[in-house]
Amino acid sequence: MQPSGPAGTGTSPDPRKRSSLRQGVRVKVVQKQDQRTGTVTEGTVAEILTSSPFHPHGIKVRLSSGKVGRVVAVLTGPDG
């Protein structure tokens, strides 16, 4: 049996859950104008814009660059 806990679980955080995100987390987002092509932008969360705890298309965030998009992947936590 494997040890439980966040380290070594091999599962990535769900980008549709607000609880998976915090300021300073590295994420990949799809901006509104890129929804048709699926072009992904990578950045650091500056602000979480979606107020509900879950969104089926991904939580909307503002990156430190000022770009806004829906999170499609959570890359790292604020501590690394």
Residue-wise pLDDT for 1-58, tens only, equals 344 444 445 578 999 999 999 999 999 999 999 999 999 999 999 999 999 999 999 9
Take residue 72 and report the two structure tokens written for it: 């499609």
Residues shown for the chain: 80
What residue type is assigned to position 34 of the chain? D
Count of CB atoms within 10 A of residue 69's CB?
Answer: 25
The residue ranges of every structural domain in the chain are 18-76
CB distance 59 to 16 below 8 Å: yes
CA distance 44 to 25: 5
**Residue whose token pair is 């814009």:** 49
Q: Output the pTM of the full model.
A: 0.82
